Amino acid sequence: MHYLYIAVIAAVVLGIIVGFAVPDFAKELKPLGSGFVDLIKMMISPIIFCTIVLGIGSVTKAAKVGKVGLLAVSYFLVMSTFALGIGLVVGNILHPGEGMQLDPEAAATVRDQASEGSESTVDFLLGIIPESMVSAFTDGSVLQTLLVALLAGFALQKMGRAGEPVLRGIEHIQRLVFRILAMIMWAAPVGAFGAIAAVVGETGWGALRSLAVIMIGFYVTCLLFVFGVLGSVLWFGARINVFRLLGYLGREFLLIVSTSSSESALPRLIAKMEHLGVSKPVVGITVPTGYSFNLDGTAIYLTMATLFIATAQGSPLGIGEQISLLVFMVIASKGAAGVSGAGIATLAGGLQSHRPELVDGVGFILGIDRFMSEARALTNFAGNAVATVLIGSWTKEFDREQAHRVFSGEDPFNEATLVDDHKPEADPAKEPATV
């Protein structure tokens, strides 16, 4: 796996070179990146289903699941508010888009995205219910899979000993799914090369130069949030150094950079958090829920992009208008944390519903959305990793001795299987040990 890690880095560098050297050819390589991301997406539903069912089914008290879920959602709401606040402060200091005159002709490409992004709350809630239990897996909806997994987990919990064979069967299926994922990961260099080459070939230097302020400002804001806010919360809440945690997840961050989607690293985050010492129930509830609702990076992105578009078109927003529009966008963006390009749809939909005259400016930012999407996905991913450790610590479901062994290198993560095959299997009917 060390060779795979090096190969991905080399593929990214090669993709950048090809993108600048032969941009027309590079644009044709986009299907390589799209195909790899689709392979990863194929594994999301079964992994989330197995993880949640095993997590809930192995807990004897349903109250514990409710406690973890309530704590997780409350934490996500607080941190999203912090992210919005930081984005607003930095955006109003930098005034991105000032002195520019956007060309509204580029907006045609986002009209459809605007209509897609304007989903009502009722439609969203009804959309969580799948047409059938099987369609939850085939439609690729994370929230539908989450609902089915929760129902199955609680049902097995109620079955008691009669449900043990089913739990053991799902555990074996989980091992199979992770083994398939490990095989797919060998295509990562090809996917990374195609994705990076295509975006560099399409964008070039022009858009990067003209939008340098918002890009740099957005990246700096994300860094401040991750290492300042999340780092402080993680240290005071769990006494864990954020640099050690993010270093442990280094390969996942590289995967996100190459695919521009936190969805590609979600299955590995689940496996690594369990290996770090966070119990299965906490990981099974916090990670998938955070994937849909913990949108720190998306909140910052929507803030910066909205201020940029409004200012660049000579229609700056007042503070009250900024807050109401951005709160709407964050609510509308739930469930889209891991999808590359979903931020554009949410941005267009929010502007369409609140300030339709500003939608024309979304087309201009479309050229660098891929680069913004990377920082957005990295921040969302870091936020979910920190949240999982924090909630595990607060609920006393975090094995600190195991975490020390992992951070010190005594118990390295098994890259071949993505699961701890060398550890004895626990009895599903028993609650996981706490510390």
Higher-scoring residue by pLDDT: 211, 257? 257
**Mean pLDDT across 397-425:** 74
Give 98-148 as a DSSP string.
Answer: TT----GGGGGGGHHHHHHH---HHHHHHHTS-SSTTHHHHS--HHHHHHH
Q: What global pTM score does this model have?
A: 0.65
pLDDT surpasses 60 at 119? no
| pLDDT for the residue 430 | 42
Q: Distance between terminal CA atoms of the chain?
A: 32
Identify the top-confidence range among 68-72, 82-86, 95-99, 403-407. Answer: 403-407
Give the start-to-end residue ranges of the domains of the chain: 2-408
Q: Which CATH architecture has domain 2-408?
A: Orthogonal Bundle (1.10)
For helices 30-57 and 164-184, give the axis angle rounded to 10 degrees: 160
SS3 278: strand
Question: What type of residue is 385?
Answer: A
| pLDDT for the residue 268 | 85
In this predicted structure, which of 4-8, 289-293, 333-337 has the lowest mean pLDDT? 333-337
Mean predicted lDDT score pLDDT of the chain: 75
Identify the top-confidence range among 62-71, 299-308, 362-371. Answer: 299-308
User: What is the per-residue pLDDT across 224-255, written as a single tens digit (0 to 9) for each?
Assistant: 899 999 999 999 988 899 999 999 988 888 88
Residue 414's region, left for phi above 0, alpha for psi from -120 to 50, else beta, is: beta
CB atoms within 10 A of CB 421: 12
- Alpha-carbon span 66 to 59, nearest angstrom: 11
User: What is the per-residue pLDDT across 322-336, written as a single tens digit (0 to 9) for each?
Assistant: 777 777 666 655 544
Nearest CA to 288 out of 415, 391, 194, 206 is that of: 391
Dihedral (C-alpha) 341, 342, 346, 349: value to the nearest 10 degrees?
A: 70
In this predicted structure, which of 151-165, 170-184, 303-317, 318-332 has the lowest mean pLDDT? 318-332
- CA of 296: how far to CAs of 2, 81, 320, 433, in Å? 31, 8, 20, 31
Give 235-267 as a DSSP string.
Answer: HHHH---HHHHHHHTHHHHHHHHHHT-GGGGHH
Say if CB 292 and CB 323 are below 8 A apart: no
pLDDT surpasses 70 at 426? no
